[in-house]
Structures are given as C-alpha cells and as structure tokens.
Amino acid sequence: MQRLLALIAALAAGSAQAGIIFTPHLSEYSKLPHGQYSELMFVHTTIEDVYDRTGKRIHLGAPYVPKGESVEANIALMKFLWIGNVFRDSGIPVLSDHAQFCRVIGGLGWQQSSQKVYERGRLFGLTGGGNGLTDVFGLCGIYTDDYRFGPLTANGLLAGTVKFPVGRFDREALLNTGTNYWSTIPQVALHAELWGRLILDATASYQFNGDNDQPAYGGTTPTRIADWRTQEVNLAFKWSEHWFTDVGFSHRDSVGPNRFDQVTVSYKDPIPAQTACDNTNNGLGVPIIDPSLCNSSNRFYVTPDAGPYADRGIYGDALTAGVYYVYRTSSVLNLRVFYPLAGRGSQIDVDFEVCSDTVPGRPPCTASSPNYVSSLPDVLLNGVQEAAATSASPYIEARLVYLFWAP
Amino acid sequence: MHRGWRVAWGLLACAHGAHAQELPPQAGRYMPMYPGLYLETGFSKDDRDRSFDAGGHSRPSAAPQTAGGKTGFPEDAAIAAFTWHFPMFESQWPAVLSNRTYLARMTLRYADTRTEGPLAAFIADAADDARSEADDLKNSGAGVGDVTLEFGGFLAGSRNWRTRQRSPFALLLLAGVNLPTGVYERDGPVSVGSNTSWFQGKLGLHWQPWDGGYLDAGAAVRDYVDTHEAMFGGLAPFRQGSDVIYDVGYTQRLARDLYLGWTFGFRYGESNLYRNPQYAPNAPPHPDANTDTYPTPGDYRDRGTELKTRTLSLSYFITQRWLAGLHYAHPQAGNSGQFLLPFSTRSPTGCTPGAAGCTIGTGQTVLVDGLGPARAYSTQRITLTVTHNFGLGDAFSCSGC
C-alpha cells in the first residue's frame, strides 16, 4: 500500500499561479519510501467568470468587455521529489531518525485571451496572453513519526516552500506565466488512513509574499502583494488496488488588502472627442469628456494617479473531485475537476485626469496642466493575475505520475 | 545487444523535417523498439533569408514584399525528444491490446531568432508610431519553444518484442498534440513559440527489405486551433490551414556502424486565414498630410502553403548507446502565403472610423507576405543530432504483481 501511495503523492504547498490553485491530492502528505519520484501535470482552464470585490460572480473584464469573453490558461508542470535521510548517521536529534524530503516544481504555460479581450488591451498598448517558463517552486521538509490507533494510521510533516520568480513576466501582458515576486510558504500537513481505505490529507500554510516593483498590465497587478492563508483537506477512498476517488475542499484568503502603487494604464494614443463620446464605456466605464465637448476637433488623453490604492483583499473557496487509476507500481493517471464555490476578487477605484492633446510632447495630465479638461474620480479597475483576480470558472487537471527512478 | 535492435534504437526518430524546430527525419522512425527510454537531441542553424513566394519562386528575402533588400529571420534551435517504447495492459487485458508495444514522446525546444534587413528597419522606425498600430514592434525573441506530445501504438510488427524478434514490416498509428508553451512575441514578425495548438494523426510504415536497408513512409494530417492574437499586427494567420504531410525515406548501412539516408518530405498546407490586419510594412503612402491609410478590416486568405524538402543524413554509432548524426536539408520547392490587402483612407489622419467627422475612402490594395507559419523558407538547414539509449527494460515495473 505504501508503495502504491508513493506513486500518487505530490507534495506541494497550497499556492497559485495564473489563477490556478495547487491543491493536495490523494496521499499528498503520506510518508513515502526513500527514493526519487517524478510527476507531470497538465492544467487547463477557460475563465469566463471572476469574483468582484463584493463576492459577486461577474463575467470576465466587466464592464469593459462584453459577456462571453474568456482567457484560457494551460500549464504543464514537472515535479521532482526526493525522499531520504541525509542525517541518518549524524546523531543529530530529530533529524537523524526522521526522513526528509525536497521537491522542485517547474513548468511551462500557455495563456491566451479571446478576441475582445486582447483588442481592448491593444487600445492601451497592452497584450493579452503570455507563454513560457513558470516560476520555480522549491520546498524541503521533514516527516513526523508514524502514529497508529487500531485501524487508524497517521503521520504529519513540516515543510517550507520558496517560490523563485524566474518565470516569464511581461509587463505589458494581461496574463503571465511568472509572477515577478518571491514567496515563502511554511506549511504543516497531516496524512491519515482508516483501514487503508479511507485516506485523509489536510494542510495549512501561510504564504509570505514579496513586493513586485514592476507590475504588469498598466499597474493593475499589485505592487505590494498581501500574504495568503491556505487551508485544504482532501478525502479519498480506495475502491481497489487500481482505482481511487477523492473529494477536497480548499480555502485561501489574503491577509489584508493588496496595494497598487504604480497604476499607469492609459490609452496608447489620444482619442478623438467624438470617439470618446460615442463610446464612453470604451475606456474607463464613465464618460471621459463632457458631452458639450463632443464636437471638439481635439483629441484627448488620460493619465491615472499612480496610487497608492488598496483592494479589499481576496479569498476563494473551492471543491475538488478526482479519480485515479494506478497502473502497476510505476504509473498513475489522475483526472480532477476544481470547482470554485465562492470568492472575492480585487478591484480598485482609480482617479484619472483628462487633458486635450494640445501640448507638444503630451506631458502627464494633472489638474494644473494647461491642457487640463476634467477629472474622473473613482474609476473602477479590475486587479489582474494570480495575486488579484479570483476565478469563478472551474478547471481540469490531468496528471501522470511516473516513477522514472522507482525506489 | 541484438544487432537489429541496436540499429533500431539508434535510428529511431521523430517527425518530418518540414518545419524548423523539428528534428530531421531519420530511418527507422516507424520501427518498433525494444521497451525503454530514448533521448534524441539536435541543434540546427538556419539563415532563413530566402523564401518561396506564392508563385513558387525562390526569392532572396524571407519577406520579399518588404522593399529595400534582403530580410532574414535567422534561427538557432535546440531540440530534445524523449521517446518511451513500452507494452501496456499486462496479460489480463485483451490480447489485441496487450501483445503489442506503444510509443510516447515528448519534444522540448529552445530557440533564438531575430529579424534582419529592411523589415528590421521598419520595426525600428518610430516615425509612424503616433498614428498607426505599428508601434512598439519587437525584433527578436529567445526562449523555450512549444512542447509536442505524441502517443501511439504499433498496429503491426511488435508482437514478438519479448523475444526481440523483429518483423520486417511494421505499422505505427500515432496521435500528436502541440502545447504552445513557447515564448510568443506578438509584436514581432518571428517568434520562438507558435501560440497555436495543433492536433495530428499519423500513419507510419516501416519495411526492411534486406539486412542493412530501412524504408520508412508516413502520412499525417494536422489541424490547427485559432490563435487570437496573431503576431505582427495580424500578418500571421489567425487560422492556419490544415496540413497534409508525407515523408518517404531510405537508409542503407555503408559500413559496420555507418549509415546513409535520404528522405523526401512534402507538406501541403490549406489556405490560411488572416483576420483584421493592423498594418503592413509595404503599406501604400498617405495621400496627403491630412489623410492617412489603414488596412481595411476583414478576413483575408492566401492560397495555401507548400514545401518539399530533401534531407541527406549520415549517422554513426559512437558506442552502443550513443549515435551521432549530421543532416542536411535542402528545400526543393514550395510556396508561401501571400494575400491582397486593401487599404482604406481616413481624414483627418488617425481618426476613428465611424466617428463623426471621420471621412473614410478607398485606398490602394497591396500584396503582403503572410508571416509565421505562412512562410516557406528556401534555405538549407544543417542539423547535428546526438541520440542516447538510456537502457532497455520494462518501463512499467511490477514488483509484487
């Protein structure tokens, strides 16, 4: 049984990337035989809905793009796990008689937005998608003793994860495979089995997030990212040596708000007056200029106040359900659905100034500018990417766990 | 090691060599191998400074419609393909499934590419940035490429894998998918990644007519998914036409560890669709100071693409587990995607069509080059490959079964 479970396990802290949350799987925290393990995981999601700051489910990009638009994210992750005891003969208390583990997770991502989304981004000189390397997660930890109470067996683990921001990060992109900030994640976890049939994995972690001094998509990704708390539980049942199913629950919430200090989103080119009047919802969700100026031959541009702004913090609750097929002792196929139950996303109220394009060099627009026209206070902008947006759309995981170097 | 199996693993291989960032075709590519893991790596250099135009003529530029000289898209690419050959389903499954071997392959890529010549000058020119979409353009890209996954089974020729007795005939059915994880530069004329998924079905036939001779022939159909953010302002296809791909090759052993092979590759691509191009390097001039031009929004099609390639391969077993190969690919014929792009005029310059006071008129129509997968390059490509056999054995261990 232990060898079988070794195949399925995939230690990972509860973390997120590109709107995709990594949640524990069957026997995620079980004490495995010493050796090296590998895993390949594909995640696909099409995000059509997100949560706003009140917890209401809204369509992606509302109110600036029509309903039905989406972003598609695909991530392929490779995971390597080592379990052993490098302190076995050292005599160091605790370490010498408790196995340790280390894990590295990295991968590739492909993310693309639908046509209306990227066409909108183009107005601001921004792009819709992002492909390339993901950030790299490295974690190490130690297992506790085994505990046995009749038919119940259990073990725990303590781990620490570091997210290295080496993934591709494009400041102009709505979606990125990298995050551009460091994270450190201490974690405790529990694994328990009842009669070897009912398998419980649970974890709690706290993610310390560093700052992102180069936010993306016009500064609508936060510069000071709130820390996160994560609690997750997964309950699995073994139907046979080959077949398992599981259900899980995940809760993640930020500790305080995200803060935005470098909002720069603005039209790439000044827009004609009539365009601004004809499509006042095209840029900022509010009329850009007064209707009396619609016949003006001038063009207009806007400049946001850079900040700071703060959202109301984010959270997300989700349900997972999956099925596992174990082939011999070297391969596992796993299909899982992640379904969001509730959440809160990031939105901020940004102040803009409107100026006419009548001054050479188009200097930043302020209330004291000679070409100043008006102010647009409290324009609602959506926070984007993994630290701010909370997806309300489900996603699918497909995993292949394969023992290249079976213990 | 049984000599036949040794040759087989060494000459294993991948797809056709019609596209860059693909390993060249090698003999034995549709031959069943003894279960195990194989790695093939390759490094290729391609100047990509010549291309076939839509009429099939080789032109001294990768983008011949851009005036001013020779445009080039040189690319260096490193490719690694991991291939597993394995049995599945054990003995309790239906014999039709369990008595043959299967194949799974993952291909990883890294590439460095850039733009040279007059198209690079167009990218660098900021004169029109204020009143056109051709601003913030990028010249080059480097990074990880797309990932290709393939899976298939041998319909014939692998039944005796346990005894290592090979059949002179084999038939492989292979399905593939491209994961467009490669770095994609939307604002450049070339990119490392394609940003486009594709699905492929392939049938490969292997025949060993005599000792030391290997004949392989394959046919594939490939369908592409739309890419919503086609690069360089939409001058690359929004929807790439389906490909039909054939390859035929023969390899002969010349000496004890030396093999020479020829492969002919054919790729026929259906018409590509371009949606709402934003600009063109050869846009018509502005009629006057108060009027400019812009591409008329709409869907446009080229007449499809085609490329016929001959590849000469020399392979040598350095040791039992290491094989080195040198491959020279010569494009024999082909045609690239080009399409007629009408321009509209607007006055005053830069006004938004449809807005009051913005006068729209009919402008000139120009022939533009389709970019990205619409280009069929007529440059020679040299690839150096090294193949390693990690070892033979049952890929699915079953201790205690």
Q: Is B133 in CB contact (< 8 Å) with chain A?
A: yes
Of B144, B187, B195, the CB nearest to A112: B195
More confident residue, B182 or B349: B182
In angstroms, the first-to-last Cα distance of chain B is: 28
Do the interacting molecules here have an ipTM over 0.90?
no
CA–CA distance, A63 with A65 (Å, rounded to integer): 6
Q: Is A272 in CB contact (< 8 Å) with chain B?
A: yes
B370-390: average pLDDT: 92
Task: Spell out, as residue ranges, where chain A has pLDDT lower than 50.
Answer: 1-16, 18, 281, 283-284, 407
Structure tokens at A66: 């029509």
Q: Determine the residue of chain A that is closest to B149 in CA distance.
A: A76
Q: Determine the residue of chain B that is closest to A43 in CA distance.
A: B179
**Are B147 and A271 in contact (CB < 8 Å)?**
no
Structure tokens at A36: 């090296």
Using DSSP bridges, classify how beta strands B101-114 and B147-156 pair: parallel, antiparallel or unpaired: antiparallel
Asked if B327 contacts B312 with a C-beta cutoff of 8 angstroms, the reply is yes
In angstroms, the first-to-last Cα distance of chain A is: 14
Q: Is B388 in CB contact (< 8 Å) with chain A?
A: no
**Are B180 and A76 in contact (CB < 8 Å)?**
no
**pLDDT digit string, tens, across residues A184-202:** 999 999 999 999 899 999 9
B19-47: average pLDDT: 85
Average pLDDT, chain B: 86
> Which of chain B's residues have a Cβ under 8 Å away from the Cβ of A118?
228-229
CA–CA distance, B119 with A251 (Å, rounded to integer): 51
CA–CA distance, A221 with B391 (Å, rounded to integer): 48
Question: Which residues are registered as beta bridge partners of B114?
Answer: B140
Distance from CA of B250 to the nearest CA of A (A): 34
Q: CA A181: distance to chain centroid? A: 12
Write the single-letter amino acid at B259: Y
Distance from CA of A63 to the nearest CA of B (A): 21
**Number of CB pairs, chain A paired with chain B, less than 8 A apart:** 102
CA–CA distance, A317 with A51 (Å, rounded to integer): 11
Q: pLDDT tier at B400 (50, 70, 90 boundaries)?
A: very low
More confident residue, B391 or A374: A374
Max CA pair span of chain B = 83
Angle (nearest 5°) at CA B236 between B234 and B237:
95
**Are B135 and A330 in contact (CB < 8 Å)?**
no
Distance from CA of A20 to the nearest CA of B (A): 16
**Are A271 and B352 in contact (CB < 8 Å)?**
yes
> Which of chain A's residues have a Cβ under 8 Å away from the Cβ of B195?
110, 112, 129, 131
Asked if A84 contacts A100 with a C-beta cutoff of 8 angstroms, the reply is yes
**Are A272 and B401 in contact (CB < 8 Å)?**
no
Q: Is the pLDDT of residue B371 over 80?
A: yes
Q: Output the pLDDT for position B390.
A: 80
Q: Is B130 in CB contact (< 8 Å) with chain A?
A: yes
pTM: 0.84
**Are B181 and A109 in contact (CB < 8 Å)?**
yes
Question: Which residues are registered as beta bridge partners of B325?
Answer: B315, B385
B123-140: average pLDDT: 74
Q: Is the pLDDT of residue B265 over 60?
A: yes
**Are A114 and B395 in contact (CB < 8 Å)?**
no
Asked if A126 contacts A176 with a C-beta cutoff of 8 angstroms, the reply is no
Contacts (Cβ under 8 Å, ≥6 apart) of B80: B39, B40, B41, B42, B107, B108, B109
B13-39: average pLDDT: 73
Answer whether the bond into residue A63 is a cis peptide, omega within 30°: yes
Q: Is B177 in CB contact (< 8 Å) with chain A?
A: no
Helices (H), A77-228: 115-123
Structure tokens at B17: 């060599």
- Provide the total of helices (H) and of strands (E) in chain A, helices listed first: 3, 23
Q: Is A109 in CB contact (< 8 Å) with chain B?
A: yes
**Are A132 and B193 in contact (CB < 8 Å)?**
yes
CA–CA distance, A223 with A241 (Å, rounded to integer): 48
Of A109, A113, A331, the CB nearest to B228: A113
**Are B228 and A328 in contact (CB < 8 Å)?**
no
Percent of chain B with pLDDT over 90: 56
Q: Is A242 in CB contact (< 8 Å) with chain B?
A: no
Q: Is the pLDDT of residue B2 over 80?
A: no
**Are A112 and B181 in contact (CB < 8 Å)?**
no
Q: Which of B181, B183, B195, B224 to mutate to test binding with chain A, by most A CBs within 10 Å of its CB? A: B181
Q: Output the pLDDT for position B304.
A: 95
**Are A110 and B133 in contact (CB < 8 Å)?**
no
Q: Output the pLDDT for position A281.
A: 47
Instruction: Tell me the three state secondary structure of residue B363.
Output: strand
Q: Is B39 in CB contact (< 8 Å) with chain A?
A: no
Q: Output the pLDDT for position B398.
A: 47
**Are A109 and B229 in contact (CB < 8 Å)?**
no
Q: Is B92 in CB contact (< 8 Å) with chain A?
A: no
CB atoms within 10 A of CB A91: 9
Q: In 3D, which of A77, A20, A41, A8 has the Cα closest to residue A338?
A: A20
Structure tokens at B112: 């460095």
Q: Is the pLDDT of residue B129 over 90?
A: no
**Are B397 and A327 in contact (CB < 8 Å)?**
no
Q: Output the pLDDT for position A4.
A: 41
**pLDDT digit string, tens, across residues B206-258:** 999 998 899 999 999 999 999 878 999 899 999 999 999 999 999 999 998 99
**pLDDT digit string, tens, across residues A57-101:** 998 888 888 888 888 888 888 888 899 999 988 889 989 999 999
Structure tokens at A388: 């701010």
